[in-house]
Structure 1
Amino acid sequence: MTSTYRLQLTPDLGFAEAAELTGYLRELGVGALYLSPVLQAVPGSAHGYDVTDHAAVRAEFGGLPALRALAARGLPLVADVVPNHMTVPVPESGNAALWAALRDGPASPYARWFDLEWPVALPVLGDDVGDLYGGGTGNEGGAGCDGFSVDGNVLRYHEHEFPIRPGTEGLPLPELLRAQHYRLTGWRDSPGYRRFFDVSSLIGLRVEDPEVYDATHAVILSLLDGGVLHGLRVDHPDGLADPRGYLRRLRPRVPGPLWVEKILIDGERLPEHWPCDGTTGYDVLNMVTRLFVDPASAEQLAKTFARHTGVTEDYETVRHTAKKHVIELFFRGEVDRLMAALLGARPETGGDADALREAVVELLAAMPVYRAYVDPGEPPPVESIRVVRGAAREAAAHADPAAVARVADLVLYGPPAAVTRFQQTCGPVMAKGVEDTALYRWFPLAALNEVGGEPDRFGVSAAEFHAFCAGLPPRTMTTLSTHDTKRSEDVRARLAVLSEMPDEWALAVDSWAAEVAFDPRLDYLGWQTLMASWPISVERFTKYLLKAAREAKTAISWQNREPGYENGVREFAQRAIDVCGGSVAAFTAVVDRYARVNSLGQKAVQLMMPGVPDVYQGNEIIDFSLVDPDNRRPVDFRRRRALLAEVLAPGARPTTWEGQKMLVTATALRLRGRLDPAAPYAPVEAGEHAVAFARGDEAVVVATRLPVGLERRGGWGGETLTFPRGRWRDLLTGHEHTGRVPMGHLLARYPVAILGR
């Protein structure tokens, strides 16, 4: 497989609509179509990760016949599979397996499907509901039972439905509630099951159980066996009890690539014993972004950020505080279960228990990665020991060192349940504490605030990038934008320019902030976002700011809305555009002279570096999307078809940014179609303002970087690049080159060159 193109399937873009795109995608040079989840999900779901039935292909997309028809178009299909969780729908009867488990309790054959604690706490009650389970033996008065009704063997609470345990149907309501295999609790409470991050509507599956694996994968495996699907992308493997075991079982059934959505943190590598082709590319995304950021501005941008926001702490401090915050806010139940697993049958009380709990919290907060890759019953890998011990040293500064040391020993060498539970808890704390909190609190340069990113690491050199590429698995996925990125690749390309224009940026944002202000902790992110996504509607900008404020959790959150503050956000968004829109547009026009260079450069690099490149829907041309759901809006494929025809026409020389990005994308994908993914990677010396590399004897890529600095020094001057032996043809311009070539000549028309034999 040479490349993929990711489509977000929706009720409006199902299998038939995808089939109509296959001709365009082939013309673009795409090697395979990469689909979001295809199994039955909540009706109307725009993402498909809320699976309700593993035994059915999603009816809204056309079902199995339409999926087979799509496969018959001849473009190999890769599907997103979700093994970690399924949904708790509303009404709850929409999940038949969960319904049976709740009805029949631990004796149900479906009880083993889910990671449950009996009776199962279900957080659904509104704030106005009193104590349902107190009030004496019978609670005869039914205190707190308003809003409930019984219909045969179904218990209803507003839009929710729950099964009634057989034999309890005729009980008075208070007694009936206490007689069930579940307990209804406040919507803010932790549920009695492992969930996806903090999302109580997504319940964890136990695919480590062979029967559960077989039942939840039967359809997917039949699609692989029947040639309908060629490869898989595994969603969130860190949530699984045994990712390695899961992949070992799955790998022999997948004829093509098997990728994992694994977030690797700066310098971390995928475990060698995981039998897969690599990650979905966030590690690549962050490295490519840094390649186009000037590290010289780090201190100045940090000062501008602090001056506008009042945030003076360094990123490590903000991250630690954010992780502690989300543990207290979301994960008290998860910590309780982890404590029980750590202590086993010998629970401790009093001060010792408090010290151990504090140690658990601090160790979770200090963990620098999503998982430590410790497998119960096996000696921990040296790297896992290093990571846990390093986190323990940091945690010991905030908790009893002896308690921390004990907890560290237990998560490395302790009971299997403790080792596994710790692994499954690290990921949610990282995701919610960093991705969905810290990254919205600390943002001197928001281009660096990406999934798996380190926002305090400004820039990398070409040499560092080459070293990174040398260590990549040959068939790992590479990407620049996904359905989960915080902002699209072209938004980041614009923001990267600010690292070369810190003085101009400071003056511009000072002038805007003097005209319109609301919350200093939010405004500065708002100004970066407004510039980098310009032009943007008030509606889109408002939705982004509201989400950013709720994720930051400094004034409001998803759990605690405050109408006055949220109205202030709406007013800020409106006034920022009305009052400062002209100035923002003018500044963005200056930025775009250089952002175009970054955009084309990062695209050429990503599509031609080691790995299998993915293009996220629509990003073959410029796209200024923000975090989901903004980045899942419908794509205008008619426009893209027309533009592709234009740039591929004989003699075409596109002059617009979007035309040039389409040309670069199509040229690189078509060349990749002829290039072995394992073709050797060799750096080519290119100086400070370019990055260049060869792929075997078949391709050479040259991309301009740090274009503002290049312009300020007067351009390329006499700088040259020496090609590998032989004659090379620039596939973008048709020009041929050999030997030593002046950079000014090579990159006279476009800021990138893609060359083949």
Structure 2
Amino acid sequence: MTSTYRVQLTPDFGFAEVAGLVGYLRELGIGHLYLSPILQAVCDSRHGYDVVDHGGVRAEFGGEKGLRELAAAGLPLVADIVPNHMTIPVPESRNAQLWSALRDGPQSPHARWFDFQWPVAFPILDPGDEPYGTAVEVADGVLRYHDHVFPIRPGTEHLPLPELLEAQHYRLVGWRESPGYRRFFDVSSLIGLRAEDPEVFAATHAVTLSLIEDGVLDGLRVDHPDGLADPCGYLRRLRPHVPGPLWVEKILIDGERLPGDWPCDGTTGYDALNMITRLFVDPSGRDALVGTFGRLTGVSDDYEAVRYEAKKHVIELFFRGEVDRLTSDLGDADLGDADPGDADPGKTGLREALVELLVAMPVYRAYVNPGERPLDETVRIIRGAAREAAAHADPDVVAKAADLVLYGPAEAVTRFQQTCGPVMAKGVEDTALYRWYPLACLNEVGGEPDRFGVSVAEFHAFCAGLPPKTMTTLSTHDTKRSEDVRARLAVLSELPGEWAEAVGSWTAEVSFDPRLDYLAWQSLMAVWPISVERFADYLLKAAREAKTAISWMEPDPRYESGLRDFARRAVEVCGPSVASFTALVDRYARVNSLGQKAVQLLMPGIPDVYQGNEITDFSLVDPDNRRPVDFERRRRLLAALDDTWDGQKLLVTTTALKLRQRIDPAGPYVPIATGEHAVAFARGIDRRIDTGTGVSADTSAAVVIATRLPVKLERRGGWGGETIALPPGRWRDLLGGVEHTGRVPMAHLLSRCPVAILEGAPAG
């Protein structure tokens, strides 16, 4: 396997349309086609993660027949699967398993599919309809509330409405209330599945595994494994059925590694994405950018304080029910010397300790299998979180709580772990990263926005530890901003003074909310040109995620109208100045864009190209990054490559992808010494290059050289006399056609393009 190309299937871009791209993708050099979820979702879903029926391939895409025809078109297929949850559709009768469970209660054969608290609370009622208003009625043998439909428990049909409602296996509650089931993050319409149950696993995976057995699918990408009760156990059950690639969408925080006992090929690449982004950021710009951010927003320069408040906020906003359930599960535990003056020393103190422990967790999950001795790393993570939590709650109770989530009741141990991920995702990804953004290219999934840059040596060390078949990526359907947006933003780390002057002038002309304006200006510059509508839609989502003025739960029509007006005025009034500044940035962003692409495509791992990103793409968070792609333009450009940024990026992409097909994907990664302004490495050569053994006689080898920190390079006068020592052998520049040997001047090697991709022949 050499590479993947991720496409987002939609009802108007299904299997037949994707099959029409196969010839283009093969010419591009792609090895595998990587599909968004293919099982039956709600009919109008644009993403496919809201599966409603695991028993069939999605009809809107062309069904199983269309999928098989796509598989026969010439590229092996990898599919995204969603084992953690399925949707609660409207009407609810469209989910057959949920309907059965709600009708027949714990006795239903499908009750085991879901993690229920009986009777099950469903948060759907509008204000004024609580507990029940006139909108709730029995009609046609079912319970109706507007468009919602619920089954009636057999034998209760004759009861008066109030008694009938009380007799059901479920309760309808206000939409702000916590649900009586585990869900995906804070999305009450996505109900968690108990994939740890063998019968549930078999039923929800039957179609997918039969497609693998028939050779229709070659591999899988597992969505959100941290939501599962036992991710490692799940993968151990799945792996024997998947002889091809198996990746997990596991978010690793800075320095974290995938658990060593997981039987999979690696992650979907956010760890690589963040390392590559930092490689092109100048750490010397940190203080100036943080200062500008603080001056214009009034937000603290202490990211950890912002992160703490954001996680506390989302726990009380979204996850009260999860914390209450955890507290109840552990409430009978011996808490030792609780303060006798506390009116409720057990549950009150324990709840506070659990909240602080969840807030202090530095990663999405620390893995504990109930009844087994936790790994030393797991104990270290939870004990470390407990030390931080002890500064905000009773230290003795926090210590006891840490013991309980490591060694306590099995259900509570698992529930704590399943709660950590949602708190991290909503508290950091979807709150803190919208509140603290001195340099927004660092605000990515799994990113640490206060870590400005990494050294070349740190990057080499990271690559040396990567599993050979892990996925690498630069853009996905879930990234906060596309790779070329980040390439532009990275330039600001080298132009902090010029940036401060520009953003100060724009703010003086157009302003709205200081806590959002600075993110708006970074975004406007980095995606320029952009329509007012696209820009306003992004800002509205950003404001709702930040939750400082409005939120998804607390809309404010006056604020939202003002925000849209700000977007319009920013584009109309400051657009020409923004365009001029972006033109300056693009002189250097092109260097970053091409460099990060060459590095990602040839570093260890299996590179993924997100749809359309073989040329420049300036997109923001979804749904902006899921817009239709102009593949005809890309076809034309591939047929006649030009010297534009788009043409150069496409040339780098197709050259690197085709070279990957000629080198050993498990071949060694060998760093090559460079100065500050370049990163270079070799793939497929003998590690002992100093002995002259050089390139293997039976495989190709590659050398990649990418320019970094281009502003500082220009200001120092260019490459001067700097050289690079290539490994022994003859090396052909695939972008320029020139052959090199030995020590080569950087100015000569990179005279036409800021990156070089070299293919080696054996030393002779």
Instruction: Give TM-score scaled by structure 2 length.
Output: 0.96
- After the TM superposition, which segments of 4 or more aligned residues of structure 1 sit over 6 Å from their partners? 345-349
What is the CA–CA distance in structure 1 between the aligned matches of 2:65 and 2:559, rounded to whole Å? 49
**Alignment match of 1:707 (pick from 707, 710, 713):** 710
Specify the code of the residue in structure 2 equivalent to 1:227: G
Cross-structure match for 1:671: 659
What is the CA–CA distance in structure 1 between the aligned matches of 2:662 and 2:76, rounded to whole Å? 16
Q: Is the 8 A contact 1:293 1:499 kept in 2?
A: yes
Residue 710 (structure 2) pairs with residue 722 (structure 1)? no
* CA displacement 1:25-82 (0-9 Å, x = unmatched): 0000000000000000011101000000000100000000000000011211000010
Counting only pairs closer than 5 Å after superposition, residues 279-678 of structure 1 correspond to structure 2 as 279-343=267-331, 350-647=344-641, 654-678=642-666
SS at match of 2:491: helix
* Pairwise CA distance, 1:414: 1.2
Q: Is the 8 A contact 2:312 2:359 kept in 1?
A: yes
Specify the code of the residue in structure 2 equivalent to 1:266: D
What is the CA–CA distance in structure 1 between the aligned matches of 2:592 and 2:668, rounded to whole Å? 25
Specify the code of the residue in structure 2 equivalent to 1:229: L
What is the CA–CA distance in structure 2 between the aligned matches of 1:312 and 1:234, rounded to whole Å? 37
What is the CA–CA distance in structure 2 between the aligned matches of 1:416 and 1:106, rounded to whole Å? 21
* CA displacement 1:118-159 (0-9 Å, x = unmatched): 000000001121323xxxxxxxxxxxx211222232111011
Specify the code of the residue in structure 1 equivalent to 2:648: Q
Specify the code of the residue in structure 2 equivalent to 1:739: G
What is the CA–CA distance in structure 1 between the aligned matches of 2:662 and 2:406, rounded to whole Å? 46
Cross-structure match for 2:42: 42
* Pairwise CA distance, 1:351: 2.9
Q: Identify if the C-alpha distance between structure 1 residues 593 and 568 changes in structure 2 by more than 3 Å, giving closer, same or farther.
A: same
Cross-structure match for 2:691: none
* Long gaps (5+) in structure 1: 133-144, 648-653
**Alignment match of 1:250 (pick from 232, 238, 260):** 238
* Pairwise CA distance, 1:663: 0.4
Q: Is the 8 A contact 2:7 2:610 kept in 1?
A: yes
Q: Is the 8 A contact 2:328 2:347 kept in 1?
A: no
What is the CA–CA distance in structure 1 between the aligned matches of 2:757 and 2:173, rounded to whole Å? 59
* Pairwise CA distance, 1:99: 0.7
* Pairwise CA distance, 1:177: 1.2
Cross-structure match for 1:650: none
Cross-structure match for 1:97: 97
SS at match of 1:701: strand
Q: Is the 8 A contact 1:244 1:275 kept in 2?
A: yes
Q: Is the 8 A contact 1:728 1:756 kept in 2?
A: yes
Cross-structure match for 1:135: none
* CA displacement 1:678-725 (0-9 Å, x = unmatched): 110000011100000000230000000000000000000000011000
Instruction: Give TM-score scaled by structure 1 length.
Output: 0.97
Cross-structure match for 1:735: 738
Cross-structure match for 1:136: none
What is the CA–CA distance in structure 2 between the aligned matches of 1:342 and 1:668, rounded to whole Å? 54
Specify the code of the residue in structure 1 equivalent to 2:79: A
Specify the code of the residue in structure 1 equivalent to 2:167: A
Specify the code of the residue in structure 1 equivalent to 2:86: M
Specify the code of the residue in structure 1 equivalent to 2:431: T
Cross-structure match for 2:14: 14
* Pairwise CA distance, 1:616: 0.2
* CA displacement 1:428-469 (0-9 Å, x = unmatched): 000000000000000000000000000000000110000000
What is the CA–CA distance in structure 2 between the aligned matches of 1:153 and 1:728, rounded to whole Å? 76
Cross-structure match for 1:67: 67
Residue 179 (structure 2) pairs with residue 179 (structure 1)? no
SS at match of 2:346: helix
What is the CA–CA distance in structure 2 between the aligned matches of 1:756 and 1:332, rounded to whole Å? 57
Cross-structure match for 2:196: 208
What is the CA–CA distance in structure 2 between the aligned matches of 1:85 and 1:189, rounded to whole Å? 20
What is the CA–CA distance in structure 2 between the aligned matches of 1:3 and 1:249, rounded to whole Å? 26
What is the CA–CA distance in structure 1 between the aligned matches of 2:272 and 2:141, rounded to whole Å? 53
Q: Is the 8 A contact 2:300 2:306 kept in 1?
A: no
SS at match of 1:725: coil
Specify the code of the residue in structure 2 equivalent to 1:669: L
Specify the code of the residue in structure 2 equivalent to 1:745: H
Cross-structure match for 2:692: none
Specify the code of the residue in structure 2 equivalent to 1:92: E
* Pairwise CA distance, 1:341: 2.4
What is the CA–CA distance in structure 2 between the aligned matches of 1:384 and 1:96, rounded to whole Å? 39
Specify the code of the residue in structure 2 equivalent to 1:682: V
* Pairwise CA distance, 1:344: 5.4
* CA displacement 1:328-380 (0-9 Å, x = unmatched): 00000000111122235889971331111100000000000001011111111
What is the CA–CA distance in structure 2 between the aligned matches of 1:108 and 1:352, rounded to whole Å? 36
Cross-structure match for 2:58: 58
* Pairwise CA distance, 1:565: 0.5
What is the CA–CA distance in structure 2 between the aligned matches of 1:58 and 1:408, rounded to whole Å? 44
What is the CA–CA distance in structure 2 between the aligned matches of 1:430 and 1:677, rounded to whole Å? 34
* CA displacement 1:651-685 (0-9 Å, x = unmatched): xxx32100100000000001111222111000001
Specify the code of the residue in structure 2 equivalent to 1:340: S
**Alignment match of 2:144 (pick from 143, 152, 156):** 156
Q: Is the 8 A contact 1:341 1:421 kept in 2?
A: no
Specify the code of the residue in structure 2 equivalent to 1:293: V
* Pairwise CA distance, 1:313: 4.2
Cross-structure match for 1:141: none
Specify the code of the residue in structure 2 equivalent to 1:743: M
Give me the identity figure in percent: 76
Cross-structure match for 1:277: 265
* Pairwise CA distance, 1:494: 0.2
Q: Is the 8 A contact 1:2 1:675 kept in 2?
A: no
What is the CA–CA distance in structure 2 between the aligned matches of 1:624 and 1:494, rounded to whole Å? 10
Specify the code of the residue in structure 2 equivalent to 1:207: A
* CA displacement 1:580-621 (0-9 Å, x = unmatched): 000000000000000000000000000000000000000000
* Long gaps (5+) in structure 2: 686-700
What is the CA–CA distance in structure 2 between the aligned matches of 1:46 and 1:674, rounded to whole Å? 37
What is the CA–CA distance in structure 2 between the aligned matches of 1:267 and 1:313, rounded to whole Å? 23
SS at match of 1:475: coil
* Pairwise CA distance, 1:554: 0.4
* Pairwise CA distance, 1:170: 2.3
Specify the code of the residue in structure 1 equivalent to 2:228: L
Q: Identify if the C-alpha distance between structure 1 residues 131 and 346 changes in structure 2 by more than 3 Å, giving closer, same or farther.
A: farther
SS at match of 2:310: helix
Specify the code of the residue in structure 2 equivalent to 1:477: M
* Pairwise CA distance, 1:385: 0.7
Specify the code of the residue in structure 2 equivalent to 1:398: H
Name which of structure 1's ranges 445-454 and 311-320 shifts more when overlaid on structure 2.
311-320
Residue 27 (structure 2) pairs with residue 27 (structure 1)? yes
SS at match of 2:726: strand
* CA displacement 1:244-281 (0-9 Å, x = unmatched): 00000101111211000000000000000000000000
What is the CA–CA distance in structure 2 between the aligned matches of 1:253 and 1:106, rounded to whole Å? 31
What is the CA–CA distance in structure 2 between the aligned matches of 1:564 and 1:346, rounded to whole Å? 51
Specify the code of the residue in structure 1 equivalent to 2:373: P
Name which of structure 1's ranges 149-158 and 687-696 shifts more when overlaid on structure 2.
149-158
Q: Is the 8 A contact 2:76 2:217 kept in 1?
A: yes
What is the CA–CA distance in structure 2 between the aligned matches of 1:75 and 1:343, rounded to whole Å? 55
What is the CA–CA distance in structure 2 between the aligned matches of 1:162 and 1:418, rounded to whole Å? 30
CA RMSD of aligned residues (A): 1.0
